[in-house]
Structure 1
Amino acid sequence: MNKINSEIKNDFITFTRLVIDRKNTTERQIYLNDKKPSRKDTNYYEKPLVYNPENIKLIIEARQDVRSCFRFKLRCQTFTDEPYFRFDSDGATHMNLDDSNGLLDRKVTTPHFNTYNNAGVVIAYKTVELKNPEVESVLLNDISLCFAHFCHESNIRFPEEEFSEVIPFSIDVIPLDLNNEDPLANIDFNG
């Protein structure tokens, strides 16, 4: 059985407001320069969003070795310790506990969004776009496009109606072998 988030269960109106109200990023381009403390193979970003009166943080994680493996999270620790809205591009299938649906309808494969119902239980869902295999494939191959989809679902913009772009790493952190050898030294360009 899933753990119940009592803060969300007891104040579902505030939770709903945190998801649907407009929030803004302060950066046009979001660079994932930091490493996640618990996973050195994952690039990480965590910054507050512009939203009053709550302190909402946007968290982005992207694996370095798997281009299509990333997560977007919203956290408001003044309301609840757990992220209250999340997108998972990869990972385990989620099993919703709603008994009114059949077993097949309760299974939600990744990619999917995670949120809570009014009982404070985590539920996963796919948007219409994520249910379309062709659109899903396009989204998973472009972290910025997928982030725009997340922003559309959670009402995040930069600053008015635009979406921020996610850059999985910056130029200064690309691992290069910087030796003194000229890689073009033995190439004859004349013949």
Structure 2
Amino acid sequence: MGHMEPVDISGDGWLAAARRVSSPNCDARPDPADISLIVVHCISLPPGEFGGPWIDQLFTNSLPANGHPYFADVHHLKVSAHALIRRDGSVTQYVPFQQRAWHAGVSRYQGRERCNDFSIGIELEGTETEPYTAPQYTALAMLAACLLRRYPALTQERIAGHSDIAPGRKTDPGDSFDWAGFRRLLREKLADNGSA
């Protein structure tokens, strides 16, 4: 359960195939029709460790400050992403796509500030130095293709890393992310379902 198959997004902005954990860290977009950017992030809690309940807990404001020394500095943050893709390719969704998730922070894309207003944030479980997994790239390409079909303002070109919209402040998804390979996979997914 939770692995991405051909994807459906319900009318209320939830993925049919994803595990759902609702985050309170979201609000209304200024213009719900303006969903025009996908931002790729990476996350691991504690840094460099995979699995465990910690990302869910961070995005639901329940991360224990004493659970790990690193958590003391981040447990109070009010953050979220729309979706997380784990190392095995399974997907958890925290915020419906129509809502504004709190993932980008201070950011700018093609001259527009406050990217949270018009973007969808997708976290990959990983680090900026370790290769992401084949199931993650497959799931990300499937999800991105689904979003491009659903939201007309999104295009293949309007997919960026967190580092692209917050240069100097953020460096994820890092040099370990294979942009060329991901874009090739995305083109394949779009071609597969182009007539659907």
Could you tell me the TM-score, scaled by structure 2's length? 0.28
Larger-Rg structure: 1
Could you tell me the TM-score, scaled by structure 1's length? 0.29
- Higher RCO (Cα < 8 Å, 6 or more apart): 2
Q: Greater strand share, 1 or 2?
A: 1
